[in-house]
Structure 1
Amino acid sequence: MNSNNAHWEKVYQTKNFDSVSWYTSHLKSSLSIISKLNTDLDKSIIDIGGGESTLLDDLIIKGHTNLSVIDISSSAIKFLQKRLESHLDKIGWHIGDITDYKFSDNQFDLWHDRAVFHFLTDIESRVKYKNLLYKAVKKGGHLVIATFGPDGPLKCSGLTVERYSAAKLDKELGTNFKLLGSKLEEHHTPFNTSQQFLYCWFQVI
């Protein structure tokens, strides 16, 4: 077990799902953007670092039938599987580090990442992530990504993060991705504090 894996296993084994700073009952912004980009209910969507979030629950309610999730924490995946046990056949389950994982080429129509990419503070990890993303998402497919914004926290869960503006994230992802839109959002944590998030959505070209 590497240090990243150990860190996130400890988080998910010792904290309730609704008592972590990133918790929100429904990912309203993500759902709204996905709805705009991906109207066909049989298109393949993966949630990166899905943890114990309710994104898959809400996508299933909307009628989506081709969903996947990956998280570095097996505890988080087990929690999610228990909650969604009546829908296990609709979901592809993956446990692993997104910077060291393999998907099939052109496997997904849409890649959703809320608060994983900003933990990748070294160039090598970001390059690995981007290479996997570009291979795994079909050309013409989409990326929905949320990071801490320019005025967001410097750390999350005790780890240093990288903050982004839309222009900085667009430059970081490079010419294989076309920025379609962005917005800033104040996320209110369970501790009555706020965190600035940046949401961006891209087309893979």
Structure 2
Amino acid sequence: MTRSEEDGHWAQVYEAKAPTTVSWYQETPEQSLRALDRFEATACSSLIDVGGGASSLVDALIEQGWQDLTVLDIAAPALAASKARLGAMAEKVRWEVADITIWRPRRKYDVWHDRAVFHFLTEPEQREGYRSALSRGVAEDGLVIIATFALDGPEKCSGLPVQRYDPASLAAEMGDGFQLIDGWLEEHVTPWGASQSFNWCAFRRTG
């Protein structure tokens, strides 16, 4: 799938389905919020939510007083759904429509959050592009939180193949500049009651 085809795929997903009906929907992003609290990220930190789309994480962070928030997604309709949901509060957020594999950050963030983008990068050059953005976009000693499908998770999502990980294999993908500080599993329940196994990892930038 080319980049333009992938862009079109995700735009069609959000144009055809309500955000609350997609498999990755969470009413409350509990794992993300717990991880931010556990690894001492505060409302004074800057955060980018990669693939944040229509996620409610940004809502929760605004409620907690976070001031420096960026949400990036390849699908403009997903970001439009978040903006509509937030109303006037959407002005508190920077919105980026971009493909993370070719995106070049113009600044560095204290926290990089990615729930379920990295596992869609099945080609080595895609992951290389992601790592380039990660290296450019994360501050020294910055926190990186990434969730992918676990080794026993689905082999496909939204009609696309995925790459599954455990903490060791995801750490190998991140490279020497990012130290794994913890990994854990989540059983995510889809809106229709199916269970999906997720692998969550937290990294600290060391180089």
Into which bin does the TM-score normalised by the smaller protein fall? Answer: over 0.9
Contact 1:38 1:110 in 2 (8 A): no
Match of 2:79 in 1: 77
Q: Report how far residue 34 of structure 1 moved.
A: 0.9
Match of 2:156 in 1: 155
Q: Report how far residue 37 of structure 1 moved.
A: 2.4
Structure 1, unpaired ranges of 5+: none
Deviations 1:23-79 (A, max 9, x none): 110110111101222443121101001111100001111111110000111111111
Q: How many residues align?
A: 204
Distance across 1 between alignment mates of 2:116 and 2:103: 18
Match of 1:165 in 2: 166
Match of 1:8 in 2: 10
1:87 counterpart SS class: helix
1:143 counterpart SS class: strand
Match of 1:68 in 2: 70
Match of 2:44 in 1: 42
Distance across 2 between alignment mates of 1:41 and 1:192: 33
Matched to 1:64, the amino acid is W
2:134 counterpart SS class: helix
Structure 1 moving runs of 4+ over 6 Å: none
TM-score by length of 1: 0.96
2:9 counterpart SS class: helix
Match of 1:23 in 2: 25
Contact 2:112 2:145 in 1 (8 A): yes
Percent identical residues: 42
**Aligned counterparts, 1:97-112, within 5 A:** 97-105=99-107, 107-112=108-113
Distance across 1 between alignment mates of 2:40 and 2:83: 24
My pick for the range that moved more, 82-91 or 67-76, is 82-91
My pick for the range that moved more, 149-158 or 32-41, is 32-41
Pair 1:177 & 2:200 matched: no
Q: CA RMSD in A?
A: 1.1
Deviations 1:140-186 (A, max 9, x none): 00100000001000000000000001111011111110001110110
Contact 2:104 2:136 in 1 (8 A): no
Distance across 1 between alignment mates of 2:11 and 2:30: 26
Contact 2:149 2:163 in 1 (8 A): yes
Match of 2:121 in 1: 120
Deviations 1:93-130 (A, max 9, x none): 1001111112124x210000000000000000001101
Matched to 2:185, the amino acid is L
Structure 2, unpaired ranges of 5+: none
